[in-house]
Structure 1
């Protein structure tokens, strides 16, 4: 069975007979054997967590409860971070290749777009290294592309993002396949960390977060028919269980009753690398993870000063920087606060840009241009 290939014509007939809401088509996955397709997954619930089947039951129960719930909602009927006021806050689709590293891709996709939203800058050039997160930080826990230690868990990935940090893609580009950590010797000076994250298990809360704060990371059960997805709203019709997979949820549609997801199988899958999956399907909404904030360390250059703020508390001074937002001036001592505030005030008054060095999101150094 593991070496059987997906019979696309049989699947199309089944979709037609079941009045399916999605379309199947030949792609790079439909010619693979079942065992080869499984290499593109990578989520297995952690010890003590609900199994894939239990997650499916939880998602269906949650969706059923959501449908009968009464009361007003605060979120829009549809939402997609690829088009918010004509702006796209979603970073490019990537390809995990034949390696069970989907958790790293889902976590990074969620963090990248969240950072763009926090900055209010859809064009922010941000690209984190999935290789560093999976091969180095996941590797420190013994995680591999496949086998007994194949794949990873979202909580562990986000814990590493919070406690250790992840370097840019340019410092350690991703290639699929088990490998020793290839991060540069000075990688610790390059990391960006998240401040915290949390899980959401209620569909209404998921939509509220999506429509106001940013995308979410989600995992679900993959059946063999999913590999042939081309368009429409996926709902499982046929095929054996392949395994678990994690993606980034970038929006939803109450009109179509679905979540909108960014996959990590390249742009040849689905609709340019994206797909839609029905509410309550395959455990997709049993639990999702949100990134609360991003802790930044490093230089930000050529910024306009747009506002200054302080109150009566000692050394409690903030500056609003173009494409960066409000950031606190280092409160280490009075001289630092006064000197940096003077530089910012002068730059604002004379419409000059500044270069700013952040350490854990705190402004430590400023150069006026």
Structure 2
């Protein structure tokens, strides 16, 4: 076991290193006990994967990532990208706090799914909020995972493909170990991934982020990281505390760093986010990173406005355009149901009334005028 967090030594080491980043001894994480901090990590590599000790050894031997290396790796991708500002739009979702549970993988994977979906439909205002409780306590629990032993992002993405993840409003997360108790009917509010891709090399990671969505990132947490407040993090002080996984939402070649969203609450880091130098702590090489190929969503949408309707003589070929959602095909099991749904939407449009709709990908399965 490594020594616990030493704030006095960290302050001195940062000064000796030329203040590469700013520390804050008052973060929630810094004020916790060592045991309380460690339980909030939650990435313990499975058999056959690089162990924490091997990752630390590789990290110490890794060469510095110079500006020349960065320039050679960045051909074809923009020099910077941040999902919080894509042509003025923020496709990320709210920072969460995993509490006293090693559920970082579930938080990171859920965040990747949320950002990827909102980016894919070009709508940052959906406020998609997936249930980390469903992903971790239910799907992870089936694999024997719990708050003490954590999980792995590839398995979490596989479960999100096979079974899907419901919404936070359906099954809220608590920051302590809980039995799976997802309520019935959760299948009517569900997000799924179509598959996952393991990304090898910084160029591939950057290209994925710039063109598709965010990715998972697993890395070594050293003791100094708990007191990070701002700047581009580099390990300067303390031994390793464990492994941790987050969402990588962007990058910046000029600063030589990844931009990440953590799950330790908004009182830590840059409002819950942090920047970490390329190559540091094995974040771009250890266990992934993984991207979600695409994300589909089946959920009830409320307070929709009908902007337009379209149909032709083909059987059951009618579409509706909803404000903020776009065109969706009306899907029913009979011509009578199709006509009833279309008539309902015609009335809602003419009367400027809101609609509640069950949307499954690009299909509308049920509608109610509210």
User: How far 1:226 moved relative to its partner?
Assistant: 0.8
Taking structure 2 as the reference length, the TM-score comes to: 0.84
Please tell me whether residue 108 in structure 1 is matched to residue 110 in structure 2: yes
Question: Secondary structure of 2:194's match?
Answer: strand
How many residue pairs get aligned? The number is: 364
- Name the stretch that deviates more: 259-268 or 189-198: 189-198
Distance 2:290 2:311 in 1: 34
Q: Is the 8 A contact 1:249 1:261 kept in 2?
A: yes
Aligned position for 1:93: 95
Q: Is the 8 A contact 1:258 1:279 kept in 2?
A: yes
When residues 285 and 326 of structure 1 are mapped into structure 2, their CA distance, relative to the original with a 3 A threshold, is farther
Please tell me whether residue 358 in structure 1 is matched to residue 362 in structure 2: no
Aligned position for 1:295: 296
- Name the stretch that deviates more: 29-38 or 168-177: 29-38
User: How far 1:168 moved relative to its partner?
Assistant: 1.8
User: How far 1:127 moved relative to its partner?
Assistant: 1.4
Q: Is the 8 A contact 1:5 1:32 kept in 2?
A: no
Deviation sequence 1:291-310 (CA, Å, 0-9, x none): 23222223324434557789
Question: Secondary structure of 2:116's match?
Answer: helix
User: How far 1:334 moved relative to its partner?
Assistant: 7.0
Q: Is the 8 A contact 1:302 1:355 kept in 2?
A: yes
Structure 2: tracts of 5 or more residues without a match: none
Aligned-pair Cα RMSD in Å: 3.4
Aligned position for 1:35: 35
Q: Is the 8 A contact 2:327 2:362 kept in 1?
A: no
When residues 339 and 29 of structure 1 are mapped into structure 2, their CA distance, relative to the original with a 3 A threshold, is closer
Aligned position for 1:133: 135
Aligned position for 1:232: 231
Q: Is the 8 A contact 2:95 2:261 kept in 1?
A: yes
Structure 1: tracts of 5 or more residues without a match: none
Q: Is the 8 A contact 1:297 1:357 kept in 2?
A: yes
Question: Secondary structure of 2:193's match?
Answer: strand
When residues 118 and 242 of structure 1 are mapped into structure 2, their CA distance, relative to the original with a 3 A threshold, is same
Question: Secondary structure of 1:125's match?
Answer: coil
User: How far 1:210 moved relative to its partner?
Assistant: 1.7
User: How far 1:341 moved relative to its partner?
Assistant: 6.8
Deviation sequence 1:316-341 (CA, Å, 0-9, x none): 77655432234444386777777767
Aligned position for 2:160: 161
User: How far 1:256 moved relative to its partner?
Assistant: 0.5
Distance 1:248 1:70 in 2: 21
Distance 1:210 1:312 in 2: 42
Aligned position for 1:258: 257
Taking structure 1 as the reference length, the TM-score comes to: 0.84
Q: 1:119 aligns with which of 118, 121, 132?
A: 121
User: How far 1:20 moved relative to its partner?
Assistant: 4.5
Question: Secondary structure of 1:112's match?
Answer: helix
Deviation sequence 1:268-296 (CA, Å, 0-9, x none): 11111111000011111112222232222
